[in-house]
Amino acid sequence: MKGTLLVLFFGMLLFAMCVFEAKASGTVVVLPNHTGWRDALGYYRVSGEVENAGDGAVKDVWITATFYDAGGNMIGTANEHAYLKVLLPGRKSPFEVLLTTAAASQVHHYSLSVTATDTDPIPEGLEILSSNSYIESISGNLVVSGIIKNVASETAHTVKVIAAFYNESGYVVATLCSYLGSQDLGPNETTSFNVMLDWNTYRVGLVSTYSLTAESLEYALVPEFPSIMVLSAFLVASLLTAAYTKKI
């Protein structure tokens, strides 16, 4: 009887270890172009990207940030899910981790780690046909608008468009996720989208380029759309004007 209980116990222990220590076969890495910054509310944000450098799809991609003060003491942790729920091999996903505690004002530096779990890949079924960017004349917000199409044979549910914004050195200065107004997109249907970076983040003036991706519950993005879009000379001039105006 004791032998049976021991076998049962170790069997359950092994099962628990398999469940909680599951590792992805795809190697998900945090890219080194992340930045940390404080927003208008005093919260500390880490904006960046993760990449699936493996050969299998992964899900449940969680980024954990550990924060330290100037003395090297750990003062807090925070974690957040990557914007893409399923990360196909070779794909990147923006993320943003937020520290909302009082310790946010003491952050001197941070470290990042990432975990993920194996999953089946989702098919490609969304295509971004075009995009452009402009500064709203009154608000000073940076808006990226465009057209997205469902090229799959079934309805795409809960469609979202995700943007990463980069400075001239290629560092991620902000990330955003925006759901379509109707959220669902029928087969062969197109619709417009807007992603807006608010001026009061004080990140608009840092933006030189942006990248877009998209996802629904069923489909990933067809990787034909240029991943990095350079802001037009007119927009750069508008950004400089807006930044100058805000300083005044």
Whether residue 7 lies inside any domain: the answer is no
**Is the pLDDT score of 43 beyond 70?**
yes
| CATH (domain of 187) | 2.60.40.10
pLDDT of 122-169, one tens digit each? 999 999 999 999 999 999 999 999 999 999 999 999 999 999 999 999
- What average pLDDT does the segment 64-75 reach? 98
pLDDT band at 224 (very low <50, low <70, confident <90, very high): low
Whether residue 11 lies inside any domain: the answer is no
Domain end point (choices 118, 135, 158) = 118
Instruction: State the total domains in the chain.
Output: 2
pLDDT of 80-134, one tens digit each? 999 999 999 999 999 999 999 999 999 999 999 999 999 999 999 999 999 999 9
Residues 141 and 239 in one domain: yes
Residues 165 and 99 in one domain: no
| CATH (domain of 99) | 2.60.40.3230
Residues 99 and 138 in one domain: no
**Which residues are CB-neighbours of 175 under 8 A, at least 6 positions away?**
47, 48, 49, 83, 94, 95, 96, 162, 163, 164, 165
Domain of 163?
124-247
**Is the pLDDT score of 27 beyond 70?**
yes
- What average pLDDT does the segment 240-246 reach? 41
Residues 138 and 208 in one domain: yes
Domain end point (choices 56, 90, 118) = 118
* Confidence at residue 248, expressed as pLDDT on a 0 to 100 scale: 28
Residues 57 and 169 in one domain: no
Whether residue 103 lies inside any domain: the answer is yes
* Confidence at residue 12, expressed as pLDDT on a 0 to 100 scale: 36
Domain end point (choices 118, 148, 180) = 118
* Confidence at residue 42, expressed as pLDDT on a 0 to 100 scale: 95
Residues 52 and 105 in one domain: yes
* Confidence at residue 13, expressed as pLDDT on a 0 to 100 scale: 35
Residues 174 and 92 in one domain: no
Residues 131 and 243 in one domain: yes
Whether residue 97 lies inside any domain: the answer is yes
Whether residue 108 lies inside any domain: the answer is yes
Residues 136 and 94 in one domain: no
